[in-house]
Amino acid sequence: MTYREEGATLVEVLISMVILAVGLMSLVVLHGRLHLLQVEAYQRSQALVLVEDLASRMYLNRNDAASYVTAGGPIGGALANCPTTTATRAEADLTEWCETLVGASESLGGADVGAMVGGRACVQDLGGNQYLLTVAWQGAAPVSAPPASVTCAANLYNSPGGTPCANDQCRRVITTVVRLANLT
């Protein structure tokens, strides 16, 4: 009489457990990557809202549009380099807008956290009643750098040597051109 063995051997069980562990680890990595992409998408949508907001402010104050130009470099950033004067409508707009840019609408433990990480902005005069609006921020992971023609906040998001954020690969930018018609 021969006995027929039934069931799984220990080797088969171990191989099944290894396959299951690899599958679960892949799901954990995928979840982490999806979270990173969600943060990037949120920051990009915040930047789009801010660019459109400043463009609207400039359209409404078209006669004083040149006052929105940030000649001294980008405004905002980790040090909240925002204008503080509010004597004119343009100055008040830039002050309010910059505070939104650095996240003053939401705070956590006394720190402004309501917008992009390290948000900075530039307004450049292109001539002919055209202005280039740029919002830049710190990306969550390195990708390709923005075009060299977009100089707002260039090299301000690089980490010390040997880290992945070098050569502006962690700088993200949104730009738009505001064209103001002469209505006189």
- pLDDT tens digits for 106-116? 777 777 667 78
What integer best gives the mean pLDDT of the chain?
A: 87
User: What is the value of pTM for the model shown?
Assistant: 0.79
For residue 162, what pLDDT is reported?
Answer: 63
Of residues 81 and 97, more confidence is placed in 97
Give the residue extent of every domain in the chain: 10-179
Of residues 8 and 13, more confidence is placed in 13
Beta carbons of 47 and 174 less than 8 angstroms apart: yes
pLDDT category at 143 given cuts 50, 70, 90 is confident
Evaluated on CA atoms 42, 172, 35, 98, the torsion sign reads negative
User: Could you read off the pLDDT of 16-33 as tens digits, one per residue?
Assistant: 999 999 999 999 999 988
Greatest mean pLDDT among 5-9, 49-53, 118-122 lies in 49-53
pLDDT category at 1 given cuts 50, 70, 90 is low
Quick check: 158 pLDDT over 90? no
In degrees, rounded to 5, the angle at the alpha carbon of residue 152 between the alpha carbons of residues 95 and 79 is 50
User: Could you read off the pLDDT of 51-88 as tens digits, one per residue?
Assistant: 999 999 999 999 999 999 988 788 887 666 788 888 99
pLDDT category at 164 given cuts 50, 70, 90 is confident
